[in-house]
């Protein structure tokens, strides 16, 4: 059998398995809150979840479309099915696949890249599962400490801590895009502090403004605010 034929058969089968496993994973992920709900004695509030999805889910749908369009060709069939199922795509799977590609000299779009991306992402995911599982076992004795009153302010501010670290990362690279939405949001929340409980919804106008500025800059770079 010719190498091309072998690879095509492998690729077709990858799509069959990838689709099957992807759909099973989606079912598991969507069912898990209900199964856990049985054990903890509280089922999800579907109406509240739907309301929340309309408010915040649409944004993630757009992010998902963009990530799908950008990363699928770079990772190939097997790599992208696995990458989307196993997550941590930008912070780990992409750099890992890139590193493997560089090391072997494989070019994007070739059968070699398909094989190497799949091996890289699957291996990387297994390492994460192993490290996290070992860590979670070790965490068990620390539960009383993690739930102590002293540490409560830390967990109450986990979101602020995340946005602080991401703010530096994104703002330092895209200062000219960040200036306008940041000023708009500060002014808005100072004059309407009651909006704080709907901060996630306010990302729609803030994100829209950021995309508009980015688009204008993309077409004609703004020289004033070079970062």
The reply on whether position 225 binds other proteins by CB under 8 A is no
Nearest to 44 by CA among 34, 54, 59, 55: 34
The owner of tokens 């539960």 is 143
- Of residues 171 and 225, the one with the C-beta less far from other proteins: 171
- Shortest separation between residue 147's beta carbon and other proteins, angstroms: 6
221 is a contact residue toward other proteins (CB under 8 A): no
Determine if 216 is a binding residue for other proteins (CB under 8 A).
no
Contacting residue, 141, 193, 220, 224, with other proteins by CB under 8 A: 193
List binders of other proteins among 87-106 (CB under 8 A): 87-92, 95-96, 99-100, 103-104
Alpha carbon distance 89, 80 (integer Å): 9
Binding flag, residue 155, other proteins (CB under 8 A) = yes
For the chain, give the secondary structure using H, E and C. CCHHHHHHHHHHHHHHHHHHHHHHHHHHHHHHHHHHHHHHCCCCCHHHHHHHHHHHHHHHHHHHHHHHHHHHHHHHHHHHHHHHHHCCHHHHHHHHHHHHHHHHCCCCCCHHHHHHHHHHHHHHHHHHHHHHHHHHHHHHHHHHHHCCCCCHHHHHCHHHHHHHHHHHHHHHHCHHHHHHHHHHHHHHHHHCHHHHHHCCCCHHHHHHHHHHHHHHHHHCCCCCCCC
Instruction: Output 202 or 225, the one with its CB closest to other proteins.
Output: 202
Q: How many residues bind other proteins (CB under 8 A)?
A: 169
Minimum CB separation from other proteins for residue 209, in Å? 7
By CB under 8 A, tell whether 151 contacts other proteins.
yes
Q: CB of 227: closest distance to other proteins in angstroms? A: 12
Report if residue 154 touches other proteins, rule: CB under 8 A. yes
Q: Considering only residues 136, 141, 220, 224, which one is a binding residue for other proteins as defined by CB under 8 A?
A: 136
Check binding of 6 to other proteins (CB under 8 A).
yes
Sign of the Cα pseudo-torsion (55, 56, 60, 63, in order): positive
Nearer to other proteins by C-beta: 30 or 224? Answer: 30
Which of 141, 153, 223, 224: binder of other proteins (CB under 8 A)? 153
Near other proteins in 22-81, by CB under 8 A: 22-26, 28-30, 32-37, 39-46, 48-49, 51-53, 55-57, 59-74, 76-78, 80-81
Q: How far apart are CA 110 and CA 116, in angstroms?
A: 10
Residues 105-134 that bind other proteins (CB under 8 A): 107-116, 118-120, 122-133
């Amino acid at each position: 059998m010719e190498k091309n034929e072998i690879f095509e058969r492998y690729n077709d089968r990858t799509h069959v398995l990838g689709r099957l496993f992807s759909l099973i994973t989606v079912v598991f992920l969507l069912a898990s809150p209900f199964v856990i709900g049985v054990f903890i004695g509280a089922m999800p509030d579907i109406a509240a979840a739907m309301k929340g999805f309309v408010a915040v889910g649409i944004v993630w749908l757009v992010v998902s479309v963009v990530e799908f369009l950008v990363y699928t060709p770079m990772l190939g069939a097997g790599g992208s099915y696995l990458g989307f199922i196993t997550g941590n795509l930008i912070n780990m799977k992409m750099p890992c696949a890139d590193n493997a590609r560089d090391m072997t000299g494989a070019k994007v779009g070739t059968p070699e890249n398909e094989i190497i991306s799949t091996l890289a992402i699957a291996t990387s995911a297994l390492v994460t599962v192993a490290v996290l599982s070992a860590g979670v076992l070790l965490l068990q004795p620390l539960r009383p400490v993690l739930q102590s009153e002293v540490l409560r302010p830390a967990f109450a501010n986990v979101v602020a801590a995340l946005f602080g670290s991401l703010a530096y990362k994104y703002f330092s690279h895209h200062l000219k895009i960040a200036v306008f939405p940041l000023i708009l949001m500060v002014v808005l929340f100072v004059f309407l502090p009651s909006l704080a409980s709907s901060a996630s919804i306010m990302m729609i106008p803030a994100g829209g403004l950021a995309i508009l500025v980015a688009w204008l800059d993309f077409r004609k770079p703004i020289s004033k605010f070079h970062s």
